[in-house]
Amino acid sequence: MNTETPTAAGLQAIRWLRPGEDPEEPAGRVPYAEVMEKILDGCADHRHWYSDIDWDKGPEARRSFASAYIADAYVNGIVWDIWHGDEICGIFILNRIQPGLDAYAHFLFFDHELRNKRELCRVAMRQTFADTKLNLHALRVEVPAHMGSLAGFLRKALGFKFEAERRLSDPALAKKASQRHEATLYLKQWENVLMLSITRAEFDEHVRTIGTEGECLNGPDRKPRRPDSTVSPSPSPRSKPSIPRANTD
């Protein structure tokens, strides 16, 4: 299997797939139980996903938690696998979906590197906003306060704003006003959780501002182009696979 870490120059090798979407792609060639094991391994090792309470229960309990979380997203939301060659390298989740209103987004890359995933994330956002069945007005994310670099990436690279940023012109004040108070326990300290969001119109404006290639979803300056076939999320509903759960006995 290709274990090369994706680089900025190698993004064309990364594909977004629903499980079993295409028999010629890795998800169709690799038994999905094996794929799911790798996903759960990646999730169980990601410290920032867990409060102290869940982390201290051990790796098998964390795998069970991740399995239940992903299974719920398969049933009630949307999950994409992210592939680089024949190697699973991450997941992207939409849950708490309210068609016509909003949804919560979450992504995890197993190499923990974000800088070479900017356009990959923008493609996912563009495809999600373009989905006529979802017809989303906004995407929302929640980030533990200690993950300042992730919040910075969401704001600078992807255009998200703190929830209060539309009302408060000072970003520092907006950050303080956009938090759930002491919502998680991390390294024995109660921490706030930051709330960020982006509307469809704000995403279009962000794309225009940074000059990202690809069509905007609104406005007269739309520039249609052939969709990128190498990075192509497809939010259309598909059959839900069974999700193997970790043995916690």
Q: How far is residue 94's CA from residue 16's CA, in Å, rounded to a whole number? A: 14
Q: Would residue 135 count as lying in a domain?
A: yes
Same domain as 66, residue 17: yes
Q: How far is residue 17's CA from residue 28's CA, in Å, rounded to a whole number? A: 10
pLDDT value of position 27: 55
Q: How far is residue 95's CA from residue 84's CA, in Å, rounded to a whole number? A: 24
Looking at mean pLDDT, say which of 45-49, 150-154, 162-166, 180-184 comes out highest: 150-154
DSSP string for 153-211: HHHHTT--EEGGGGT-S-HHHHHHTSEEEEEEEETTEEEEEEEEEEEHHHHHHHHHHHT
Beta bridge partners of 182: none
* Pairing, β 14-17 against β 78-84: antiparallel
Over residues 30-35, mean pLDDT: 72
Q: Would residue 206 count as lying in a domain?
A: yes
Q: Would residue 1 count as lying in a domain?
A: no
pLDDT value of position 7: 35
User: Above 50 in pLDDT, residue 175?
Assistant: yes
User: Above 50 in pLDDT, residue 64?
Assistant: yes
CA 160 to chain centre: 13
Percent of the chain with pLDDT over 90: 38
Same domain as 94, residue 45: yes
What CATH code is carried by the domain that includes residue 177? 3.40.630.30
Over residues 216-232, mean pLDDT: 36
Same domain as 153, residue 207: yes
More confident residue, 33 or 93: 93
What DSSP character marks residue 65? H
How many residues are given for the chain?
249
Residue 93, both tokens = 């989740």
User: Above 90 in pLDDT, residue 198?
Assistant: yes
pTM as predicted: 0.73
pLDDT value of position 23: 53
Q: How confident is the model at residue 29 (pLDDT cuts 50, 70, 90)?
A: low
More confident residue, 101 or 171: 101
User: Which residue range(s) make up the domain with 33?
Assistant: 12-112
Same domain as 206, residue 132: yes
pLDDT value of position 26: 57
DSSP string for 17-45: E-TTS-TTSHHHHS-HHHHHHHHHHHHHT
Angle 50-20-235 (CA atoms, 0-180°, nearest 5)? 65
Q: How confident is the model at residue 21 (pLDDT cuts 50, 70, 90)?
A: low
Looking at mean pLDDT, say which of 10-14, 156-160, 238-242 comes out highest: 156-160
How many domains does the chain divide into?
2
Beta-carbon count within 10 A of 244 CB: 17
Q: Would residue 235 count as lying in a domain?
A: no
pLDDT digits (tens, 9 = 90+) for 72-91: 888 888 888 888 777 888 89
User: Above 70 in pLDDT, residue 247?
Assistant: no
Single-letter residue type at 26:
P
Q: How far is residue 173's CA from residue 184's CA, in Å, rounded to a whole number? A: 21
Q: How confident is the model at residue 182 (pLDDT cuts 50, 70, 90)?
A: confident
Q: Would residue 227 count as lying in a domain?
A: no
Over residues 173-186, mean pLDDT: 85
Q: Would residue 246 count as lying in a domain?
A: no
Average pLDDT in the chain: 76
Which of 112, 144, 177 terminates a domain? The answer is 112
pLDDT value of position 62: 94
144-150, long-range: CB within 8 Å, 24+ apart, which pairs? 144/48, 144/184, 144/186, 144/191, 144/193, 144/194, 145/179, 145/191, 145/192, 145/193, 145/194, 146/48, 146/186, 146/187, 146/191, 147/48, 149/114, 150/48, 150/114
